[in-house]
Structure 1
Amino acid sequence: MVGVTDAPTNDFDLAPTNPDLLLDFRGVEFRRGGRTLVGPVDWQVELDERWVIIGPNGAGKTTLVRMASAQEFPSEGTAFVLGEQLGKTDMRDLRAVIGMTTTSLANRVPADEIVEDVVISGGYAVIGRWREEYEDVDVEQVHDSLEQVGALHLLGRRWGTLSDGEKKRVLIARAIMVNPELLIMDEPGAGLDLGGREDLVGYLSELALDPDAPAIVMITHHVEEIPYGFTHAMLLDEGSVVAQGLIDDVLTSENLTKAYHQPIKITKEDGRFFARRETRGGAHRV
C-alpha cells in the first residue's frame, strides 16, 4: 500500500490495542544516527485526558509527539495511534484526522494568506489556497472553529498582519477544523508576551474543560504555560521518562529537580503551576 512503511517487527506486534486508547505506545524507542533520541517509553492516552509533556531542551519531547502525530514511526517497540499501528497503515490517513499546531507550520504560511484560507486548508492537510473550491459546510466549519478560539473577528485579515498570539489562535482553529479525536500542540505559547500567553492559557483552559473537546497532548518548556484542567503529565530528560501519570503526582519539586539537574521548587496556585530554582548558584546541569 502506498504510504505504508514497514516498522520493525517485535513481540509487541502480537497484542492488539485497547479500543479506548487514542495512543498506545509499548516499549517505543526512536533512534537516528546510532543515537537513541527517545525511549524506551510506555504511554497510553485516553479520550478524556489532557496531557502536558515537559522537560529540558533535547529531552525528546518533539520526537515523541512526531510519533504520536504519525510523522515518524518507532525504531523499536509498537505504537498505536487512533487504533492503527504505525508502520502497518497509511500514515497520511492518520495525519489527516489529527489536529496539529507547530511553530514550523506557522513559518510556512504565506504572509498574504487570509485567515479563513489558513483555517479551511487545514481540513485538507495542505497549506495555502490556490484554485480549490470549498463547500458551504467547510466555510461554516471555519467560522465555528474561529469562534471557538475567540478569533472570529480576524476574518479577512492577512496572516502577515497578525500578532503572534493571533496566529496561535488561528492555527488552533485550523487544527480543530478536522474535528480531530486528538489535538497535539508543540509549544503553543512560544514567543508570546505575558498578556498573549495568559490569553492563550485562558482559552486552552476552556478547551481542556470542554467534555466534547478532543484528547490533548501539549509540549511546553514552562510549567506556567500549563492550562487549568490538564489531567496528566510526562516529564522527560535525555529521551527517558522521569515520571508520568496524574499531573499532581508528576509535577513535584523532586521530579523537576531530577529532570533539570538543579534544585527546582514548584508551587500550585488556583490550579496553575509555578517553578523557580530553590537556591542561588550552581551549574545548570551536573
Structure 2
Amino acid sequence: MLELKDVDFVRDGKLLLGGVSLTVGEGERWALLGPNGAGKSTLLNLCGAITHPTRGTVEILGRRLGTVDIRELRESIGHVNPRHPLRSPLNILDVVLTGLTGTIERMPRWEPTSAQRARALKLIELLGISALSAAPWTTLSQGERGRALIARALISDPRLLLLDEPSTGLDVAAREQLLETLDQIHASHPYLTWVLVTHHLEELPTCTTHAALLRDGRVLSAGPAEEVLTTARISETFNHPIQIHHTTGRWTATAHRHALPGGVGRAGVE
C-alpha cells in the first residue's frame, strides 16, 4: 500500500526527512510518533501525494510519485486534517459530501446522487453524529468536527486513510469517543489501511498494528507496535526517560524514575 525507499525531503535548504524507508501493507494500521519537528506531518504529506520527495522513491497503492496522475491517485486516499479550513456554516451532511468532490465548499451546480447521499448518511450514522447531520459546521465542537471529517474521508471509499493528529484540541471524553470510533471503523472496514500521526501514545486506538518512531527527520524504529512502542525506544525517540505500559490494548506513558546518564530510561523494561 505504501513503500518509501531512501527518501529525503528538503525545503528551503533544510533537510526535513533523511534516508526514510518504510513499507505499509494492506489492512495495517500504523502510528507515526515523535517529538515536535520530527518530520511526522511531512512524511504523511508524502504518503498522501501532497508533496514529492527530493530524493528517493515513494510508491502509493502500487503507483510511483512522479509517474502517475496525482488527482487520480488522491481519489483513493482519505486525508483527515483537524485544521480543515472551512469557514462557512455548511451542515455536516454537506461537509461529508465535499469528500466526493475533493473541495472545501459544495461545488456550484453539483448535486449528489441518491446513492451518494445515502452513503453519506450511513457514514454519519457510523460516526455517531446522526443527530447533528443538519447542524452547521460553525456550531460544532472540535470532537464533532473530527468525526465529520473522518466520514468525509471515508465517503470516497478510499484504500488508504491518513489521519494527521486527529485528537488535536479534544478533551479526554471527546478523545475517547474518537478512539472508539476508529476501532468501529476498523470493524466495518477491516481491509482499510491507515496511518495516524500523534505525539501521544494515549491517542492510539486499540486496533493499532504497527508503529514508526521519528526523530530529527529519520526513522529510528518501525515494525509491529508491541515491538516498537517500548520504554527504551520511546525514551530514545523523545530523549527523555519515559516508562511505557501496554494494558487492555492501550498504551500509556509516565516519567521513568530510573534514568540513566544521557537522558534515556533503563533498557529492557517493558
Question: For the superposition of Structure 1 and Structure 2, which TM-score range results when normalised by the shorter chain?
Answer: over 0.9
* SS across alignment from 2:170: coil
CA distance in 1, matches of 2:93, 2:101: 13
Structure 2 counterparts to residues 7-156 of structure 1, below 5 A: 22-105=1-84, 108-129=85-106, 130-156=108-134
Residue segments in structure 1 that go unaligned for 5+ positions in a row: 1-21
For residues 16-74 of structure 1, give each alpha carbon's deviation from its aligned partner in whole angstroms, at most 9, with x where no partner exists.
Answer: xxxxxx10111111111222111211111111100000000000000001000000111
Q: Judge conservation of contact 1:96–1:124 (CA < 8 Å) in 2.
A: no
Tell me how far 1:212 sits from its aligned partner.
3.4
Q: What are the residue-to-residue correspondences of 1:163-242 with 2, within 5 Å?
A: 163-210=141-188, 212-242=190-220
Shift of 1:208: 2.9
Query: Which residue identity is paired with 2:153?
Result: A
Aligned position for 1:159: 137
Q: What's the TM-score once normalised by structure 1's chain length?
A: 0.87
Q: In structure 1, how many angstroms separate the alpha carbons of the residues matched to 2:255 and 2:73?
A: 41
CA distance in 2: counterparts of 1:233 and 1:55, whole angstroms? 11
In the alignment, which of 223, 237, 240 is matched to residue 262 of structure 1? 240
Contact 2:93 2:120 in 1 (8 A): yes
**CA distance in 2: counterparts of 1:280 and 1:127, whole angstroms:** 50
Equivalent-residue separation in structure 2 for 1:24 and 1:218 (angstroms)? 16
Which amino acid in structure 2 is aligned with residue 236 of structure 1? L
Residue 248 in structure 1 maps to residue 226 in structure 2: yes
1:275 alignment partner, SS class = strand
* Partner residue, 2:268: none
Matches of 1:171 and 1:81, distance apart in 2: 22
Corresponding letter in the other structure for 1:278: H
Structure 1 pair 80/279, CA: closer, same or farther in 2 (3 Å)? same
| Displacement after TM superposition at 1:75 (Å) | 0.7
Which residue identity is paired with 1:84? R
SS at match of 1:104: coil
Cα drift, residue 210 of structure 1: 4.1
Q: Distance in 2 between matches of 1:233 and 1:168?
A: 22
For 2:267, the equivalent position in structure 1 comes to none
Quick check: 2:241–2:263 contact (8 Å CA) kept in 1?
no
User: What do residues 205-250 of structure 1 show as CA deviations (whole Å, max 9, x unaligned)?
Assistant: 2223445351011001110010001100000001011110000000
Question: Which residue identity is paired with 2:162?
Answer: I
Query: Identity of counterpart residues, as a percentage?
Result: 37
TM-score if structure 2 supplies the norm length? 0.92
Give RMSD over aligned pairs. 2.0
User: What is the letter of the counterpart of residue 52 of structure 1?
Assistant: A
Unaligned stretches of 5+ in structure 2? 265-270
Spell out, residue by residue over 1:97-139, the C-alpha distance to the aligned partner (whole angstroms, 9 max, x if none): 210111232xx11341111110001111011114322211110
SS of the residue aligned with 1:48?
Answer: coil
Number of residue equivalences: 263
Q: Which amino acid aligns with 1:57?
A: N
Q: Using a 3 Å threshold, how does the CA distance of structure 1 residues 280 and 255 change in structure 2: closer, same or farther?
A: closer
Whether contact under 8 Å (1:79, 1:86) holds in the other structure is: yes
Partner Cα separation in structure 1 for residue 180 and residue 189 of structure 2: 16
Q: 1:42 to 1:281 in 2, by over 3 A?
A: closer
Distance 1:229 1:209 in 2: 9
